[in-house]
Structures are given as C-alpha cells and as structure tokens.
C-alpha cells in the first residue's frame, strides 16, 4: 500500500507526494496495460499548460517514449479529479497510439478544402475517442480495485 497522506477527500494529495503517487500509478498501469517497455516520464503542470484539461500525454511511437502531464488542479483537494483514473486515461492514449493515433490525426488534419461535414465528423470522432478512453480508464481502475480488495481478503 502507498504511504502518502490523504485528507477526508479521497482525491486530495499532499503536493510533495503527488509526484511520487503519479509515478506509482504509471508504473502499476504500465505493467497492467503491457507498456512496460515504454519510457514514461511525468510532470505536474498548471492546467493552462494543457489547455485547461486534467491530463495530457505526448509520445513517440518509434522510440517508445511518452510524457504524461497532470494538472495541479487534479491533485488539489477542491477539484473532483480522480488521480489514478487521470493517469490511466493518459496511459490509454499511449496504449491506443498505434491504431487510433494515425486515424485521428488524419481526420483532424486541417485542410482549407475541408467541408463542414468533415469538420463535424472530425469533432465526432475526437469526442467518441475521448469518451471511450474515459470509460475504459474508469472500468480498469474499478476492476483493479475489486481485484486488490479480493486479494486483501484472501490473505
């Protein structure tokens, strides 16, 4: 079990311990998702740096390197952000990069001749992709917690 302190709010982390927590979640989920060969670094940043989101990821498929940025807001007690789910969400972007990355970037590539329909289609695909990632992240974290609970009980 981890040693960080938590207040009554389960999403609150002491700032100095947040980074350690993020690293722990990355390591745990890299193994679960079969991404252990990847070199994944993490940063905690102001949300303005990641367009107001809770997390952001960038990666290089060839070198198998990724950077995951987590917003300060996500480790702040006043935000309802689930830190582990946010880390899993960003790792799923890395996980899916081989299949979706090219497709989404092609569709999203701006082109002056692009019709309104294509623009709407691109927005739809991007939203559906984000929703799928979010659902998977929640599902995985829930399942993993059930497994951990069962393991604790059987000891």
List of residues contacting Zn ion (CB under 5 A): 130
CB of 92 to Zn ion, least distance (A): 8
Nearer of residues 21 and 56 to Zn ion, judged by Cβ: 56
Nearer of residues 21 and 55 to Zn ion, judged by Cβ: 55
Cβ neighbours around 100 below 10 Å, total:
16
CB of 130 to Zn ion, least distance (A): 5
Nearer of residues 43 and 130 to Zn ion, judged by Cβ: 130
H helical segments located in 33-115: 83-95, 102-108
Beta bridge partners of 69: 43, 56
CB of 32 to Zn ion, least distance (A): 18
What is the C-alpha to C-alpha distance for residues 126 and 105, in angstroms, rounded to an integer? 10
Cβ-closest position to Zn ion: 130
Nearer of residues 114 and 130 to Zn ion, judged by Cβ: 130
Location of structure tokens 């498929």:
61
Cα dihedral across residues 77, 81, 84, 87: positive or negative:
negative
CB of 93 to Zn ion, least distance (A): 6
């Amino acid at each position: 079990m981890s040693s960080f302190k938590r207040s009554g709010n389960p999403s609150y982390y002491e700032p100095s311990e947040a980074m350690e927590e993020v690293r722990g979640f990355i390591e745990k989920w890299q193994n679960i998702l079969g991404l252990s060969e990847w070199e994944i670094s993490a940063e905690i940043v102001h949300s303005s740096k990641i367009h107001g989101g809770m997390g952001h990821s960038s990666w290089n498929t060839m070198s198998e390197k990724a950077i995951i940025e987590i917003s300060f807001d996500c480790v702040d007690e006043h935000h309802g952000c689930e830190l582990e789910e946010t880390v899993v969400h960003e790792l799923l972007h890395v996980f899916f990069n081989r299949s979706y990355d090219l497709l989404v970037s092609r569709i999203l590539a701006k082109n002056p001749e692009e019709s309104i329909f294509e623009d709407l289609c691109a927005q739809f695909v991007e939203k559906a992709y984000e929703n799928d990632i979010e659902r998977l992240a929640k599902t995985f974290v829930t399942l993993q917690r059930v497994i951990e609970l069962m393991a604790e009980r059987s000891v």
